[in-house]
Structure 1
Amino acid sequence: MPTKSVKSETQEALMDVLKSMRGVMSMNPVVAPQIEQFWKAQDHLLSEAEEYSRLWFKRRHEAARTALQTARETTTGDSPDPAKTMQAVAEWQRHSMERMVEDAREWFDMVSRCAKHVSETEADAIGESMEAAFKAAGKSKS
């Protein structure tokens, strides 16, 4: 029997939440552009992050592959040459730094593109919300 009272309390709580949302839902035409902009922006940001990640992983794979190649070059042979070993490691480090600089450059580019996209679409959504509000206000006066 206790489950019925818990169930009815849960239903009452849900009904209270739905009642409190009536005001927001009645503004749906005004809020709709903002909601749509939010989810479109989310999709855009995810696409940007996915592309950045793909390129980042490509560079990490290259780093691992070239590190293995450098390790093989410096540890094989009959008589290792310390000068050649140091040169090979320095060369790998130089390319590694180039990859890290590319990571940072692409990161800042991605963040800039995302910020621009969100700000532009947010401005559009605000304009659409204002139009919807004016239309709703006009309808309520009639």
Structure 2
Amino acid sequence: MTALIPFRTQRSEGVADNTKAKFSDMMEQTRNILSANPMISPQMEKFWEAQDRMLQETEAYSQAWFQRRHEATQAALDAVQKMNGKKADSSATVQAMADWQHGSIQRMTKDMQQWFDLCTTCVGQMTQAEVEAGQKGAEEVAKTAQSAAKSAQNKKKATPV
């Protein structure tokens, strides 16, 4: 049994080394792709910034939605208590049910309004990110073109040896 332990260690180290090499190769390829196309980096940067903003918006929506669900649960409990009370009459029961339904409609309306706002905001975030990335990418391309033009001018001025 002890003979297997060194084998496992050697095998595990070999797999880890191979995984590190593959990851390193992948990172090098990614760096080469990014440096070859100056438009990609701004696109990626703005995409992830927009994703972060959308997550914040979604989190705020979710918190508000859960708060309304808690209110709905409490309202239903209150209605049940009013309808089952010893002094409850039919008019109190009808009124408790009407109040609960009215509150439910208001909460569902608010859900839909905030859902629509969330979707609109997210689309706006992605649109804004695309515009900003395009502007930043165009600036990067212009810088690259200027650098290439200067390099070409310097080569023309160089005296052959």
State the TM bucket, normalised to the shorter chain: 0.7 to 0.9
Match of 1:24 in 2: 33
Taking a change above 3 Å as real, the CA distance of residues 10 and 53 of structure 1, as seen in their structure-2 partners, is closer
Out of 38, 60, 81, which is 2:47 matched to?
38
**CA distance in structure 2 between the partners assigned to 1:40 and 1:49 by the alignment:** 14
Taking a change above 3 Å as real, the CA distance of residues 49 and 6 of structure 1, as seen in their structure-2 partners, is closer
Residue 77 of structure 1, CA deviation: 1.5
1:66 aligned to 2:75?
A: yes
Aligned pair count reads: 141
Find the residue that maps to 1:77 and give its secondary structure.
coil
Q: Who wins on radius of gyration, i.e. which is larger?
A: 2
- Which residue type is aligned with residue 58 of structure 2? A
Task: Provide the TM-score with structure 2 as the length reference.
Answer: 0.74
Taking a change above 3 Å as real, the CA distance of residues 25 and 94 of structure 1, as seen in their structure-2 partners, is same
1:85 aligned to 2:123?
A: no
1:119 aligned to 2:127?
A: yes
**CA distance in structure 2 between the partners assigned to 1:110 and 1:76 by the alignment:** 41
Residue 92 of structure 1, CA deviation: 0.6
Out of 137, 142, 147, which is 1:129 matched to?
137
Identify which of structures 1 and 2 has the higher relative contact order when contacts are C-alpha pairs closer than 8 Å and 6+ apart. Answer: 1
Matches of residues 51-62 of structure 1 in structure 2 within 5 Å? 51-62=60-71
**CA distance in structure 2 between the partners assigned to 1:49 and 1:125 by the alignment:** 23
Residue 55 of structure 1, CA deviation: 1.7
Which stretches of structure 1, 4 residues or longer, exceed 4 Å deviation after superposition? none
Taking a change above 3 Å as real, the CA distance of residues 45 and 73 of structure 1, as seen in their structure-2 partners, is same
Q: Percent identity?
A: 35
Question: CA RMSD, aligned part only?
Answer: 2.2
Query: Which runs of 5 or more residues in structure 2 are unaligned?
Result: 1-9, 152-161
Residue 41 of structure 1, CA deviation: 0.8
- Which residue type is aligned with residue 49 of structure 1? T
Find the residue that maps to 2:86 and give its secondary structure.
coil
